[in-house]
Structure formats: structure tokens, C-alpha cells
Structure 1
Amino acid sequence: MQLIECPWCGTREETEFHYGGQAHVAYPEDPQALTDEEWARYVFFRTNPKGLFAERWSHSAGCRRWFNAVRDTATYRFHSVYRPDEQRPTTP
């Protein structure tokens, strides 16, 4: 069982969390002006790197808040967690 650090609740078991996709994806300024192709690209297309990746997570069985995490997609190891209003920490 892996432990994940919630910025508000502290360390908890991974079963309390849900993955929410790529972090720092900006919502379109004028979504009504997007074509179907542009809207599909916003909704469905994300980067999928091997290595460090900024993601959104929800502490669904705890405080129910969203937070961001930098996780290595190859090892599943979390390198840092931070609140949505904070800047992404620099990682090696």
C-alpha cells in the first residue's frame, strides 16, 4: 500500500484518493467559440510522458479537496504535493 500526502490532512493510504488528470490545463477563455475539434482536443488530448508529471488528485475519502502532485509515471513515486493555488515546485 502506498501512502500519499494530502496537503490538508497529512499522509493517508492511496485507496482514499482518486486521480483527476493532468494539472495546469487552462480552461478555454471563450468555450462557445471553439470548434468541435478544438473542444475535443481540450477535453481528451493530454500529454502522457514517462517520468515526472504534474497531476490533479482528489482526497475523495477524506477532506474531499483537490490538490496537485508531481509523480513519476514510471515508478509511481510521488515527489511533491501542493495546493492548487500554489506554484508547481521545482523538481530535479
Structure 2
Amino acid sequence: MIRIPCPHCDARNSTEFRHVGEAAARPDPSTATPERWRAYLYERANPAGWTSETWFHTMGCRRYITVERHTVTNEIRSARPAGGTRAEPAAALSARGDAGSPDAGGQA
């Protein structure tokens, strides 16, 4: 089980969240070509390593968050409100006692 450090509710089990997908900037509707829209909607990099993803906290605050997660180890490096500019580093989360590393089966 992965513990996701929600910036609004503190750390919670991943079962409380819905994975929305890779975080991507939305193109400007007035200038984007159909090819750019297709790329935004359907094409994802799916890298092995660190990536920014959007998650929705369905069983908590019901807000979107952006999580920086390692796709191989599921380690979480940072979490912030979606659309925000500042990520909270894992060191700060660890200091609070709610780091986002894979959970060994504790409670939320």
C-alpha cells in the first residue's frame, strides 16, 4: 500500500485516491492545433523513474493534487495542490512523520 501525503489532509492510503494521470499543462484553446490537442489528451511519456501525476482524493478532501512519484519504486518525493507551483519535499514530509514511501500496512 502506498501512503500519499495529501497537502490538505496529511498522509492517507492510496485506496482513498483515484489516479488521474500524468500531470500535463493544458494547451491554449485559441492557439492549439488538433495535433497538439491529441497529444495533450492521449499521448503520455510513461517513463521509468520520477514523474509528476495528478491524483484525486475521493475519500477525503475531494481535491486534486500533484504527486511526484517514482514509477518503479512507488516512492513519493513531493505532493502539492494541483495547479500549484511549490512542491513539498519528502524531507519535510518525513519531519512531520508522514512520508510517502510505500506503506507496510499501517492505518490511515
TM range (shorter): 0.7 to 0.9
> CA–CA distance in 1 between the matches of 2:71 and 2:32?
34
CA RMSD of aligned residues (A): 2.2
Q: What is the match of residue 20 of structure 2?
A: 20
Segments of structure 1 that go 5 or more residues without pairing to the other structure are: none
Query: Which one of the candidate residues 38, 41, 44 is aligned to 2:39?
Result: 41
> CA–CA distance in 2 between the matches of 1:30 and 1:47?
22
* Structure 1 residue 30, shift from structure 2 partner: 2.4
Q: State TM-score, norm by structure 1.
A: 0.81
Are the equivalent residues in 1 in contact too, given 2:79–2:89 (CA < 8 A)? no
Q: What is the match of residue 70 of structure 2?
A: 72
Identical pairs, percent: 36
Are the equivalent residues in 2 in contact too, given 1:21–1:57 (CA < 8 A)? yes
Runs of 4+ off more than 6 Å: none
Segments of structure 2 that go 5 or more residues without pairing to the other structure are: 91-108
* Structure 1 residue 86, shift from structure 2 partner: 2.5
Q: State TM-score, norm by structure 2.
A: 0.70
Give the 3-state SS of the residue equivalent to 2:85 in structure 1: coil
